[in-house]
Chains A and B, each alone.
Chain A
Amino acid sequence: MAAVGHYALLFIGAALINNILLTRFIALCSFFGISNNMHTAIGMSAAVVFVMMMASTTTWIVWKVLLVPLGVGEFLYIPAFILIIAALVQFVEMYLRKSSPVLYRAMGIYLPLITTNCAVLAAATEVAKPGFFKMNMAYGYSLGEGLVYTLGVAVGYGFALIAFTALRERLDIAPVPKALKGNPMSFITAGLLSLAYVGLAGWFGL
C-alpha cells in the first residue's frame, strides 16, 4: 500500500505539481509551436508519451551500466543522453515506418520534432541523475520509479498542451483587441495558465 502511495505521489508530483511546461518552463518551443490545432496537439502528446518512456529507459540503463562504472557520468551525461535520444528517435521512426504505417502516419511527423524536444532530455536526466527538479524524493530512482516519473512528466506535458490548445482555439474566434491578436494573447494566456499551476506548488511536500 505504501508503495502504491509512493508511486502515486511520484506521478502526481511529475504531472501536476512540477508540470514540465507550466511550472518548470521546459519545452516551451513546442508549447507555442504546435498548439494551434487540437488534432496535432493530441498527436504530439501521444508521441511524447511514447518517446519519453523509451528514452528514459535507455538512458537509465546507459547511466547505470556505462557512465557510472566509468566514473564519467557527472560531466558526460548531457552529450551522452543527447546522442542516445537522437539515435533512438531515428530508430523508432524507421521501425514504425516498416511495422505500422498507420501509426507512422499518425505520429511520424512529430518524431523529428521530439528529437529536439528538451522535455525528453529533462525527463531522461532527472531519471538518471535526480535532483535537477529539486524534488524531495531526490535519490537514485529504480527503473520502475523512473518509468512512473517519466509517464507523469509526459502526461503532464500532454495535459498542459491540450488545455492550452483548447484555450487558443476558443481565443481564435473571440473578439481580441487587434494589438493582442495572435502571439501576444497566447503569451498572456500561457502566463495565466502557469499562474494556476503555481498554486499547486508545495503540495504533499513535493
Chain B
Amino acid sequence: MLLSVLKAVGALALLGVVSAALLSVAARRFHVEVDPRVEAVASALPGANCGACGNPSCFAVAEGIVAGTLPVNACVAGGPSVADSVASLMGQDTCEFVAVVTARHCGGGTRAQRSYEYSGVRSCGSANRMAGGPLVCASGCLGFGDCVRACPFDALHLDARGLPVVDLAKCTGCGICVRECPRGQIGLLEMLPDRAPVVVRCNAHTRAKERKAACSACCIACRKCERECPAGAISMVDLLAVVDYEKCTGCGVCVEVCPQQCIDLYGRPDGKPVAGADGAGKDVAGFAAARSTVRDASDVEEPAEA
C-alpha cells in the first residue's frame, strides 16, 4: 500500500521534474528576442485587423514597419494621426498621407426599376447571383447592405432610399466595403481622396435611353455639367460624367445644374465632413462658403467667379 503510494508520487515527481527541465532548457534554447518597438508600434495602430493594407493583422504590419519592409504610413485605415505617431516611434519626421474615403456611385435605391421580386437571403452577394440581380440596372446599388455589415468602423448606414450612406466622420478608407460589395469592383463603390468635393451618383455605362428606363436617378449624359464647370474638371467618359479631382475646385456649380440631381456634395476638406455631404441636402451656397474658409490655397485653385 505504502509502496504504491510512494511509486505514484515518485512517478509524477519524475515526470514533473523532467518536463520542467525540458521546458527551462527550451526556454533558453528557443528564446526569441522581440524588438520592443514592435509592441509600441502595434499599440499605436488601430488594432482592428481590418486587412485594408493587405497584411493579415495589425501586429504583422508593426513587425513589417520595424523590420523596414513597410513604410511608416502603411496603415491605410489609421489616417494621418496614426502615421504620425508611428513615424515618431520609428524616429522619423511626420509623413505625407493622402486620406481616402468611400464614395457610392449610385443614386437609385427606391427609384431604380426592379426586373423581378427578390425574396431570397437578404444579402447583396446572394441577390446579385440570381439572374444578375433584381435591378434592371446592372450597375446599381442592390441595397441589402453587405457593405454596412462589412464595415468594421460603423461608417455605413442604409437610409430611407435604401442606399448606404457614408458617415464621413467615421470612414477610415479601409476599402473593405468595396471588396465586399458584389458590384464594388465594377465601380459602384470607389475610394476617393477625402478632399473630393463632389461625387457623381451613377456608374452605368449603358445607352442613356436604356439607363433612363431602368432608373429615374441616373446620369442622362446631357453634358450640362461638362459645359458649365468653370474649372473644366468634368468630362464624359462612355456616356457618364466623370470628375477629375485634380482640377475640381469644389465650387458646386455642377451640383446645381444637374437636372437629375445626380451629383452630390462630398468630402471632408479639413478632416471633418462639410455640412450637406453625401446627399444630406444640397445647400450649395453654404457648402461652397464652408469650403472656401478651409481651403488650402496651395492645394486647389480658387473657383472662377461666375
Contact = CB atoms under 8 A, between A and B. Distances in A.
A70 interface: yes
B170 interface: no
Contacts of A5: none
A146 to B, nearest CB: 19
Contacts of B123: 173
B15 A66 contact: yes
B30 A72 contact: no
Contact of A94 (B26, B60, B126): B26
Interface stretch (A45-53, A74-82, A198-206): A74-82
Given A72-B7, A91-B22, A84 B121 contact: no
A175 B14 CA distance: 57
B27 A80 contact: no
Interface string A101-118: 000010000000000000
Main secondary structure of the interface of B (DSSP, over half): helix
Contacts of A174: 121
Given A94-B30, A98-B30, A87 B22 contact: yes
Given A87-B22, A99-B30, A66 B121 contact: no
B3 to A, nearest CB: 9
Contact of B23 (A72, A75, A90, A105): A90
A97 B11 contact: no
Contact of B26 (A84, A91, A173): A91
A86 B4 CA distance: 25
- Interface size classification for chain A: 20 to 34
A175 B122 contact: yes
A66 B29 CA distance: 27
A95 interface: yes
Interface residues of B, number: 25
Contact of A84 (B8, B19, B27, B126): B19
A97 B8 contact: no
Contacts of A173: 121-123, 126
B15 A62 contact: yes
23 contacts: A66-B11, A66-B14, A70-B8, A70-B10, A71-B4, A71-B7, A72-B8, A75-B8, A79-B12, A80-B12, A80-B15, A87-B20, A87-B22, A88-B19, A91-B22, A91-B26, A94-B23, A94-B26, A105-B60, A173-B122, A174-B121, A175-B121, A175-B122
Given A70-B10, A71-B4, A174-B121, 5 more contacts: A66-B15, A80-B15, A87-B23, A175-B121, A175-B122
Top 10 nearest A-B pairs (CB, nearest first) are A87-B19, A98-B30, A94-B30, A72-B8, A70-B7, A94-B26, A173-B123, A72-B7, A173-B121, A76-B8
Interface of A: 62, 66-67, 70-72, 75-76, 79-80, 83-84, 87-88, 90-91, 94-95, 97-99, 105, 173-175
